[in-house]
Each structure stands twice: as C-alpha cells, then as structure tokens.
A and B are shown apart, each in its own frame.
Chain A
Amino acid sequence: MYSLTYKRADSVEEARRLFQEASDAAYLAGGHTLLPTMKQRLAAHDVLVDLTRIGSMKGISVEGDRVRIGGGMTHAEVAGSSEVQRAIPSLAALAGSIGDAQVRHRGTLGGSIANDDPAADYPAAALALAATIMTDSREIAADDFFTALYETALEESEIVTGVSFAIPETAGYAKFRNPASRYPMAGVFVARHRDGSVRVAVTGAGNEGVFRWQAAESALAGDFSANALEGLSVDPDLMMGDIHGSAEYRANLVAVMARRALANLGSAEAII
C-alpha cells in the first residue's frame, strides 16, 4: 500500500466535502475490494474517507410495500434483521450467504452496490427486487444503476446512503460459488411481485455484469415454476469465461441456479 491519509466522516455532507477536497480520494466502507487492491499497489488514493461511522446510513425500516436498508448496514446486520427476515426472507438469506463471517461483519450494502463487482450478490437482489438506490443527492432505479463492470450511475463523489427494496410476493436466491474466491460464478435471484410481474436477475456470470434474464421472466410470468424454464438458456457469448468456469459452463449454471432459486423460495442456496 502506498502512503495515504485516512479520514473519518461523521455525516454524509462531511464525507462528500472531504472527498472533494482531496485530489484522488476513495470512500471506504467494508474495504473488501478497495483495500486488497491498494495493498497490491494496483490502486493509489491520497485520501480514504471512512463512511462506517455515519449514523444516517444505518438502520432498517419497513414502509408500506418496501424495505429500506441503510447503505452502511453490514451484511451480518441485514442477515440478522428480524424485519428483513419477515419481509423478504430471501434477501436476509442472501446477505447471510455473502463471504464468511468476517466479511459479513465489515462489508456493507452500500459498498457492495456502489462497487458493482460483477460477482457480488447484492446487485442481483437489487435488480430482482426492483430496488431504488438512494444517494445523498437523488434516487436511482436499480434498472438504471448498474451500467457496466464495476461501473454505476453514481457521480464521482456521490454516496449510496440506502437501498429500498420492493417486498415481493415471493422470492428465492441460488448461487454457485467460485471454489477459490467463493464469490458467485452464477447467482440467480428470482422474485414474483405483488403486481404479478416476475423479475429474474443474474450475477457472477454475465460479461457485462449483473443483468435481468428477460426470457426467464416472461416464461415465469405465466407459470412460476421450474417447469417454465425447461429448455431455456442464456447465450454463452454473453457470459464471462475464466480458469474457474468457461462461458458455456456459466450459461449452464445460470439455468441450473434459476431452477434452484425457484426450489428455494423464501431462502438462499449456496453451492460450494
């Protein structure tokens, strides 16, 4: 790691000010992507602005048909929240399946969403649960938020302060982990909403990051069961390939995980 200045913000406004005052700052939440990258000297920032003590980014509330979760909430806090468990049990289960215990106690919802790692779990939930990403300056629909690998609609100094998820009629998540990193090689979040619409979001597999599998959504809108997915597949040309899994294999995993998600409504299944 190169030398840098660490600053801790007490409010969103202070964080943004500290960020803008520096020449090349980064926000620090759980740090799971940022710090290893900096330790390997693949990234250098002159200032890190720590967001984890900002009180307004904490908290979970159920308001009408939505669950609002603060951007600073850790995965463990979301997984252990009785409100989330009652409202969207598959979302609590997804949070409880991220990384390991250490990761879950440091990593945050806002950090995961803002980083948009193509193999992160939360983006799949955000898309499938028609989430609204709340920032310190605006609200962005999840459908418009994730723009490319590690890229989002966020402006440079903008902060994800919270995420509001639609409470679905039912939902499920299934993922197949990378044996080395244990990030998903394919994770599929399936949700049927109260208006009858179906959303299917895929993480870990697509070569442009998280995406909605529209063919599966259409098929499931008529018949919300694994039978409806029979014969359906994603195009391997649109999948990532690496030493852990070729694009063809990931395409297979997407189809399998979609079926498993439907078999695990109200929970999350993690293979490996």
Chain B
Amino acid sequence: MAQDGIGARVARKEDKRFITGKGRYVDDMRVAGMKHVAFVRSPYAHAKVGGINSEQARNMPGVLAVLTGSELVADGIGNLICGWMVHSKDGTPMNMGAWPALAPEVVRFVGQAVAMVIAETRAEARDAADVVAVEWEELPAITDPAKALGEGVPQLHPEAKGNLIYDWEIGDKAAADKALSEAAHVTRMEIVNNRLVPNAMEPRAALAQYDAAEDHFTLWTTSQNPHVARLVLSAFYNVAPEHKLRVIAPDVGGGFGSKIFIYPEEVACLWAARKTGLAVKWTGDRSEAFLTDAHGRDHVTVAEMAFDANNRITAFKIDTIANFGAYMSLFSSSVPTYLYATLLSGQYDIPTIHCNVRGVYTNTAPVDAYRGAGRPEATYVVERMMETAARELGVAPPELRRTNFIREFPHQTPVIMNYDAGDYEASLSAALSASDYAGFGERKAEAARRGKLRGIGLSCYIEACGIAPSQAVGSLGAGVGLWESAEVRVNPVGTIEVLTGSHSHGQGHETTFAQLVAERLGVPIDNVSIVHGDTDKVQFGMGTYGSRSGAVGMSAISKAIDKVEAKAKKLAAHLLEAAEGDIEIADGEVRVAGTDKKLGWHEVCLAAYTAHNLPEGMEPGLKEGSFYDPANFTFPAGAYVCEVEVDPDTGHTEIIQFVAADDFGRIINPMIVEGQVHGGIAQGVGQAILEGCIYDPESGQLITASYNDYAMPRAHDLPSFKVSTTETICPSNPIGMKGCGEAGAIGTPPAVINAITDAIDNNDLSMPATPEKVWRALRAGATAMRQAAE
C-alpha cells in the first residue's frame, strides 16, 4: 500500500483553508460593479398577489431596480421543473403545478418570493424590499399532508385536483393482502416521519454576472452539482444558452441534499443580471434558509407486516402519504417512490411487498432530498416494525432479524432492487458485541436503582448508494443519466490534476480522491490536485448526492487512471525496451519487474510531452478521461445499537451509548468515513429526539423559523460514538466501495426510538421524542397498566 494510498488515515488536505478561515465561498466573491439583491417574500402561506407598487422602494437610497414576477414571466423565463417523471398507478403522469421563480399571481408558502430589489448595498436592498407594497389577498391554507388530500380543503394548483400529485404503487397488492389475511401474526403501526429543515452551515447564495460584449453569463452558486444546474438553467429556464453560461460552485459549506436543487433565487439573479446589466449578488440569511431551503422527510404511513408461525415475514404492506410542500422541487418526485419504496425490503427476505404512495401539495416549503432521501423514511418504517414485531411475538429483537436476514447474494427483492453483496449477520454480531447487548439487563437494573429507565434499541439498516445505472433510472422516469465523469491530467513534471464531475461540500474529496491516485500511480497525494465545481474547467458531470461520489465519481477516476496507466506503461516499455506486461508503477518509479531497469515517474511523463521518442502511433501527452456508468446501485448496510436512560420525572432522554457497525465495502480513508458516520448519527439523533419542523396548521406560518425554536443537536446531546466497520467488497464497481455519507442519518432514528420505547415500555411515541412527549407516553403507559390491572 502506498503510504497515503487506499486505507490510510490521511489528514484532510482541504482543512488548512477551512480551519484558518481561508475558504472561498460564494459570499466571498466580489466582481467589479457588483450590486446586492433582496427578495420581497410572502408573509402568507397562501395568497393572491394583486398589484405591486414599488415606487417608494425605487426612490430609496441606493436602489437601482425593482423587478417583479410578471416581468420575469413576460421575459419568457421558464417555470422551475421537477426532473423525474413519476406516473400514477392508473398510468397518468404526475400533476405538476407551475412554479415561476418570482410569483406573479399566487404565492403558496410563507417566504415565496414575488419581487427583487437591486441596490448598491445589501442593507439598502433590504430597506427597500421592506417598503415594496404588495396587495395580498389571503387565501385559506393547509399544511397537514394527511388532511390536504381531497376536495373539501384549500386547493393549491389547478393541475392537481384534491392536491394529489400522484397515487403511485409498487409490488403485488393482492398477494400482500392474501398473505396478511393468512398470517399467524400481523404487526400494524401508524408511523410519522417528521419534517426536517436541512440547516447547512452556509446559507444559499448566488452571484450572477452578464458580459454584454460576449453575451456571456457567469453564476457563482452554492450548488452540489453545478453542471446539472447549468443544464437545467439553460434547457428549461431560458436564462442563458448552455455554451454562454459558466456555473461555478466554489467552496460550499454543507448541503445535505438541500443544494442539489435549482432554486428561484439563482434563476432570478441570472435573469436580473442581463435585464439590468448589473452583476448582482444575493446571500440568504438564516431566516430565509429556514423558510425556503427544500425541507426533508414528512411522511405519514400505515404499515402492516405479516409473519408465519415460524416468525418469518410473509408480506409487508405500506401506505404512505408524502408531503411535497407547495411546489415540486427538482428531484422531489423520486424521493418517496424510487428512493423509498425500493428499500422497504430492508435486510430481510420478504417474498411479497406492496407500497402505495400518495404525493400531496400543502402550503409549506417544497420538500425534496435531505441526507438519506427516502432511505431514512424506509428504514424507520422497517426497523420500527421489526422491533415492535419482536416485542409482540416475544422474540429477542436480534433473533427476529436473524430469522429473516437475506443470506445469499445476489438477492432480488420484490421492489426492484437487486442486492449484490452483504453480510448482515457480521454487522449485527459486531454491533451486539461492541454494545455488550447481552449485558443490558444488568445495566438496566443498575439504572433503576438510580431512578432512571434504561432502554436498548436496535436498527439493521440497508440503503442504496451510487445512484445510479442510467438506463435503469431512465426507465423509471429520471430526466438525466446518473453516471459520473473524470479526467486525469498528468503534467509534464509528473504531478497530476484530476477533474471530477463530483462536487465536494464537506466530504473531503480533495483528500480521498488524491489517495486513489496515489495508490494507483505511486505519487504522493501532495502531487495530486482535485479540480471540481466549475463548468469552464471541468467536463460535464452529475455532482454529489446520494453518497455517490465514491462509488460513481471515484470509479470514473479509476477508469481514467486505467487509461493513463496503460499509456504510461506502453511508453515506459518502449523507453526501457521491455515488454509492456512487465512494467510496474510504484513509489514514483516505473520499473521492469524483476530487474533494476527503471525510470522515474516524472521522466516517463516528461517523455510523453517532449514526444521525442514515442512508440509508433502514440499521440503525445498523458491525459485521459472517463464517463463511468455504474452497473448497479451499491448497498451499504449495518447494525446500530442505541442505549438510553430516561428521567421519569421530566421525560428527558440521555443517550448513554451509541454503537454503529457499518459495511461500506472498501474504505479509502477510515478517518473521513468515521467523520461521515459521526455526522450522520448526530443528524439521526437530531431527527429522533430534537428536530421537528412545525407549521401553524391554520395560518401556515413556520413556527420553528429560527434556532430559538428549531432544536439542533449539539455535542452536549451526544455520547462518544463507538463506530466500526465490517467489509464485503462491492462487486458492482472497480474499487469495491459502497458509500458512507448518509448511513448514520438512515440507521440512527429507529435505533433511538426503539431504545426510548423500550425504556418507557410504551411503543406509542413519535419523532422528535421531546421530553414532554416521553413524559406523556410514560404517564399514558402507566395509566394503561393501571386500567389493565383494574
């Protein structure tokens, strides 16, 4: 192994600039003549927009322009799109309402922009935005997804009767019903997956510049996928032709999915840059982030699981209502369908699954992918059901899972996915052992002596990463292919630049990707630069989300390295007068195996560029590219054990121990992987006990619109995690890796809730399990027991 190659705990190369404050984010960018934008946003969840009087605003100091939605529409700027077509079970296409970047007629959630002010300073823009007079005609609003379905409630879009976006299904309903009717035992639960606000550290921002002489646009934006942004902005929104638009996503301070999507603000800024001839910057504040970043989760589900007399699952039936918010965001349609229902087999051999999903509009911010995107929702349903079934059946929770584990691979589930590799017993055993699961009884008794209720909960998750084989997702309605691109440029001196279509916004690509190059070409990682995030520098790519940068992005790099390596070996064989098959590259040298004949890596590289002595027919240079389309999804899986103590007086839950045993396939940098797991667990704990996005059901106002009311997890809330990995190599990509970025957020919530419900002996508990909810569940459980006794 190279010293800083695959498997090495290399410190992150990018951290020097991040921890010394030298990162360059969109808001750090300055261009000559740059002006500032403030948006005029709706204070209502649902309202008609009457006239907009901007006269007073235009006369404010520093104000250069006030632009409105009707002007934007008149200029032919296209509506925002959802890029994944999902059909209802009756074959009709999804019902998508129009979403103009600035609303000309109707607003459908609090915070939706109707106009923009451009001024010399940010403060002047805001002052003027405050006095833009909009004639609002308030309409009744609805925020609860279960109540929004149907005719007798406020209707959002004429295109979607009863607020229904689609009524979709997967699997065999008749077979599931039959199995349920014949089951020895049925576990049934109503499960709510709470709505979350993404809370990336850096709020969204956009800086748009138009060069009239060249008819050329530049957009700096907080994006996880600048190439897709350029494509969508050009092909659908008509703001700029693709070859005349450069999109740059520089350092980006976290995304968690929320920066995948194209938002109204960057569309409006590009449009305004051309319309006014001014370079304009908008930087969202935290309040705007709460109101307008795409939220996550928000499912209401009824699940039924059928067991035979041997405790084997015979069928699983799920009915889910998914809240989309007021508009269909870029990938929203795929999240509660193909990213959710396809994982409902969990780690288990389930012969029959049926899942029905109804997507619904409400007067809330749009909902789209958020760390895990569908898989946390699926895992929460599956693993709450498994733990509950074990309790009902009187079986130890690990044993019920073992009884139903998939043990042979590949395994075809009834819901599309074909699991290529895994060893669920291995991760479960590792987690049970690391958590001393067997010794829990003693710890519970000891806690009881201190007046605390101790509980333990298990979660055996599976997820799908490495999205995805393009043909497969195309057949399911995706509007794009989901391959990734790479270009490996070897410089004449032997240093290397890797241009990747992936985008790093916290993941550590500049280190991990360099480690792959170091491993393969024998150069130190300091001699490797990773270039990403600029459509003028990097070939088209698909970006970073769904834990795909390793399995797909690095596979593309690996394929490009194959070509570089082959050419370098061919050249070296020629120079060393040896057979190509005898050449090996390692430790900065290109050697003839078994001899002392060798060249420095830099000498071979230089020879490729001097081109004085190349093999017959070889072109000069050493630069190769690859577009890698994965053969399958990858399937990270693992077992998490959470142990809690509940204070019965207050309902406060303390997480005493958290164990994660993950199988991510081959790991490039264990330190970075552990960091990803830690962050994921923190977010999972956040969802389980702290975070809940709440809208007022009457007014549609966002109640949790700041950190005063939206509870984020803090170090203080978390124990020191015990994380470990088991390894089955992924056979579906050349590196054997699976993906680790979302696992923690996927596997954690059910483990936490299973632990709390175990502690309080009442299974009726929803997320976030706030102290009051736990306290009430404890009292309700005690009341129920008293009534049973009477």
Contacts and interface: CB of A to CB of B under 8 A. Distances in A.
Contact of A249 (B647, B710, B711, B772): B772
B709 A180 contact: yes
Interface string A1-45: 111000000000000000000000000000000000000110000
B704 A179 contact: no
Interface in B627-665: 647, 649-650, 652
Contacts of B703: 243
A2 B710 CA distance: 26
Contacts of B717: 272
Given A180-B707, A243-B694, A243-B709, A249 B775 contact: yes
B753 to A, nearest CB: 16
A256 interface: yes
Nearest to B649: A256
Contact of B771 (A2, A179, A243): A179
B772 A40 contact: no
A271 interface: yes
A246 interface: yes
Main secondary structure of the interface of A (DSSP, over half): loop
Nearest to A39: B285
Interface string B663-696: 0000000000000000000000000011000100
A65 to B, nearest CB: 34
A41 B647 contact: no
A176 B704 contact: no
B772 A244 contact: yes
A58 B689 CA distance: 41
B650 A271 contact: yes
Interface residues on B, range: 20 to 34
B177 interface: no
B671 to A, nearest CB: 27
B287 interface: yes
Nearest to B692: A243
A181 B647 contact: no
Contacts of B127: 2
Interface string B717-730: 10000000000000
A245 B771 contact: yes
B392 to A, nearest CB: 30
A253 interface: yes
Interface residues on A, range: 20 to 34
A252 interface: yes
Q: Chain A CB within 10 Å — which of B652, B704, B771 has the most?
A: B771
A40 B711 CA distance: 19
A3 B771 CA distance: 41
A256 B652 CA distance: 12
B156 to A, nearest CB: 25
A41 B130 contact: yes
B711 A179 contact: yes
Contact of B708 (A180, A246, A249): A180
B311 interface: no
B690 A179 contact: yes
B780 to A, nearest CB: 13
B379 interface: no
Contact of A271 (B126, B647, B689): B647
B221 interface: no
Contacts of B709: 180-181, 243-244
Contacts of B771: 176, 179, 245, 249, 272
Contacts of A272: 652, 716-717, 771
B704 A243 contact: yes
A261 B604 CA distance: 75
A244 B770 contact: yes
B707 A3 contact: no
B690 A256 contact: no
B123 interface: yes
A249 B773 CA distance: 10
Contact of A246 (B123, B649, B772): B772
Contacts of A3: 123
Contacts of B775: 249, 252
Nearest to A255: B649
Contacts of A1: 123
Contact of A245 (B126, B711, B772): B772
Contacts of B708: 180-181
Contacts of B649: 252, 256
A231 to B, nearest CB: 15
B770 A179 contact: yes
Nearest to B776: A249
Interface string A99-142: 00000000000000000000000000000000000000000000
B770 A176 contact: no
B130 A180 contact: no
B557 to A, nearest CB: 42
A40 B694 CA distance: 20
A181 B690 CA distance: 11
Interface string B764-785: 0000001110011000000000
A176 B650 CA distance: 8
Interface string A206-247: 000000000000000000000000000000000000011110
Nearest to B775: A249
A253 B652 CA distance: 11
A82 to B, nearest CB: 27
Nearest to B690: A179
Given A3-B123, A180-B707, A243-B709, A256 B650 contact: yes
Q: Chain B CB within 10 Å — which of A176, A180, A249, A271 has the most?
A: A180
Contacts of B712: 180
Contacts of A176: 650, 652, 771
A244 B707 CA distance: 13
Contacts of A244: 709, 770, 772
A259 to B, nearest CB: 8
Nearest to B714: A182
B448 to A, nearest CB: 18
A179 B685 CA distance: 13
Nearest to A249: B772
Interface string B119-135: 00001001100100000
A246 B779 CA distance: 15
Interface in B730-787: 770-772, 775-776
B573 to A, nearest CB: 63
Contacts of B711: 178-180
Interface string A80-107: 0000000000000000000000000000
Contacts of A249: 771-772, 775-776
Nearest to A272: B652
Interface string A30-68: 000000000011000000000000000000000000000
Q: Chain A CB within 10 Å — which of B694, B703, B711, B776 has the most?
A: B711
B620 to A, nearest CB: 58
Nearest to A260: B649
Contacts of B707: 180-181
A269 to B, nearest CB: 11
Q: Which 9 A-B pairs have the closest CB atoms?
A: A180-B711, A179-B711, A249-B772, A256-B649, A181-B708, A245-B772, A180-B709, A271-B652, A179-B690
20 contacts: A1-B123, A3-B123, A40-B287, A41-B130, A179-B689, A179-B771, A180-B704, A180-B708, A180-B709, A180-B710, A180-B711, A181-B708, A243-B694, A243-B709, A244-B709, A244-B772, A245-B771, A245-B772, A249-B775, A272-B771
Interface of A: 1-3, 40-41, 176, 178-181, 243-246, 249, 252-253, 256, 271-272
Given A179-B771, A271-B652, A272-B717, 11 more contacts: A2-B127, A180-B704, A180-B709, A180-B710, A243-B694, A243-B704, A249-B772, A252-B650, A271-B647, A272-B652, A272-B771
